[in-house]
Amino acid sequence: MDNTSTQNDLEAVETEPRRVVVLLSGGGTNLQALIDAQSHDELGGEIVAVISNQPEAMGLQRARDAGIDAVVLPHREYDNRDAFDGALIKVIERHEPDLVVLAGFMRILTPRFVQRFLGRLINIHPSLLPAYQGLHTHARALADGVAEHGCSVHFVTEELDGGPSIIQAVVNVSVDDNEDSLKARVLDREHLIFPIAVRWLLEGRVRLVGDHATIDGVTLPSIGMRLSHEDAAEELDEGS
């Protein structure tokens, strides 16, 4: 038996890394969390492109620094939302992604776009969904005097911030919190759970089945897996 031939055959059937495209509009700290996970072989795939509708987005520079294709697609150059989303679909599909990740992409997507990538399109949102869909989540949570706040990674559906959650992380709200302090602690939790959710999806563990998320074939509750404040604080090595 020719061992060399056998080894070459095995190498030939090795699969390519799963491909991720990230969309963003701003600073890209969640992108950086994904890049860091990838650099430690903890992402389960490869970020092949970062696309932004804002030419000055810091996230584009983070991509360039990591050797990732950085693409600018200014939405203001298109007549309407549908025209922009059509162009965005073409740019994304050029990179043949297995997963499309919204990491602070400040655009409301058309049903056409959502349906094109349904089941392989996820978003991170700064609240414990379904609470505080939309914008200004931290200010609204503080105004309501809630005891717990946090973040969610969820599948994107046609309902804004309405798709089933995959994973959430809780932060206890302190009487001393203001919008900036709460935002900072929630952001730390975003950086913690986002790479986990991406890895689960790239490994095929998490799927969108109908209007529910499943993990390892088991249907998740609408809030997904939830990481408690204490568990998140331990993972983040927070003082208290």
Check if the beta carbon of residue 168 is closer than 8 Å to that of residue 150: yes
The token pair at 189 is 């939790």
Q: Which of 197, 201, 188, 199 is nearest to 232 (CA)?
A: 188
Instruction: Work out whether strand 45-52 and strand 225-227 pair parallel, antiparallel, or are unpaired.
Output: unpaired
The token pair at 230 is 């204490």
CA distances from 131 to 115, 136, 157 (A): 24, 12, 16
CA atoms within 13 A of residue 180's CA, in its CB half-sphere: 0
| Residue showing tokens 């963003």 | 24
- What CA–CA distance (Å, rounded) separates 198 from 216? 15
The token pair at 229 is 């404040």
The helix or strand, by DSSP H or E, that contains position 62, with its residue range, turns out to be helix 58-65
Q: Count how many residues are written for the chain.
A: 240
Helix-then-strand count for the chain, H and E: 8, 11
Q: Which residues are catalytic?
A: 125
